Structure 1
Amino acid sequence: MANNPYGNGSILVLGGTGKTGRLVAEGLVKAGRDVRIGSRHAEPHFDWERPESWGAALADMSAVYVAYQPDIAVPGAVETIRAFFRQAIAAGIAKIVLLSGRGEAEAEEAEAVLQDLAIDWTILRCSWFFQNFSEAFLLDDIRAGEVALPAGLAPEPFVDTRDIAQIAVAAFNDPRHARQRYEITGPRALTFAEAIAAIAAATGRPIAYASVPVEAYRAELQRMQMPAPYVDLVLYLFTTVLDGRNTPLADGVRRALGRPPRDFAAYVADVAATGIWGGNHA
């Protein structure tokens, strides 16, 4: 079964505890697939920075979901991914589903590396996630009632990670997704101010939103003693990916699943009901 990407072959889910990987793993298990979580805390453990850990994680797998941490845009990521792809093929992997990002030159380079391989692949080129507002990144600021981000950010067609995961699961189970690249967005573009306003309305809490100069934002991250590589990555993503190049909508969800993508309003209602943002449902 090791070289069969469909049927009952086992699947390694890298980033299997992250925003998309967790949902991909859950969906595959529900579909009856055997799943191995690839993370530094799993057994066998997987660490992108320790290639010697890759072999044990890949052993006896037929397919892999690749979500690179922290982001394909970080220096050296493409070469690391290239080396991983080589090792995956040598281990008998027959299918790779790659989580990619819209508007990132490095992500497109990683896509090209995968597309050149004699292997079954599916590429998920995604917008910013809805879940950045409720898992990690912006959650603490929203709960504190004040969100400040760099000025000049273009509207973004945020996408639900549940849509991404559903496409990934389909790609592992249905050969019609073979060698397809899906550009995945939500159904409409929103500014960050509009997104925060929607969250404030749903929770009944005042949540202030401020646009600040890019260098002031950098200084604040440094004041908070964020690691320099993290600061550089966040500023790169804000000033590059959110410069307007990704504002147009794409049809990846409809192409892959035959339905429209989930809307931000439905996501906000779901999350507000959990009380994680405080307010009416806390």
Structure 2
Amino acid sequence: MSAAEAREVRAFWQGLGLPGLVDVHTHFMPDRVMDKVWAYFDSAGPLTGRPWPITYRDAEQQRVDRLREFGVRAFTSMLYPHKPGMAAWLNAWSADFAARTPDCLHTATLYPEPDAVRYVGEAVERGAQVFKAHVQVGAYDPTDPLLDGVWGLLAETGTPVVTHCGSGPAPGKHTGPGPIAAVLARHPRLRLVVAHLGLPEYGDFLDLAERYEGVHLDTTMVFTPFTELTAPFPVEERPRLRALGDRVLFGSDYPNIPYPYVDALRALTTLDLGDDWLRAVCHGNAAQLFAHVS
């Protein structure tokens, strides 16, 4: 880690008068799973049309220490299965990781399978504070009947679920606003956090956030020079983003980003939405969504 980068990250939130950052979209998972994720990005050129180097390809403790050096007061261990029988094992790992990493929000995941309601309920009982649902990688339909009880449970308990349901960086069979809109129509109280602001279907997901008060949006990778090249956020949508400022959350995708962490913060300042908006996005909104975060 560059000491200069750490100083710049800390100067960002200190200049806003914040106690630090809350990053709702960071990845920690078992080493062998993380290695496979990194291998996927190493070979992602044909998918994305350009290289995707992992900027923070370090050992787990080094990655945790770096977030702390940046002044990230709370973060997540976003992890996700791509096949049946995997989610419960990942949830056991993430519960242990949260227990030994107190600044990590206890994260869990899900997959459409017969025992999903059981293990999701067990994770909530064990204190899971946020779930990750990756419709693209999991290649599943979020309206699958096997998930209906899961969405209902998460809606009833008010547990946020960060969901990659947009069609970027490459569309999947069940990505886009349609399938997840059907879930929200059935479970309107669901606290859904749309990852990557729904990239590239930004306007459609802003529509959902305006329609459902439980829908939040995370900023992960959006607005950065890397993303603006292929999926620029429409300038004309900025007023809507400002109006939804109490439901926009900072996310980075650390460590799997192809640029320095500070780029995501610099990008937010280019929007010219004001310091109050930045304070809410980078700390206040998450502190409200996750009650114990300070």
The TM-score with structure 1 as length reference comes to 0.34
Structure with the higher fraction of residues in helix conformation: 2
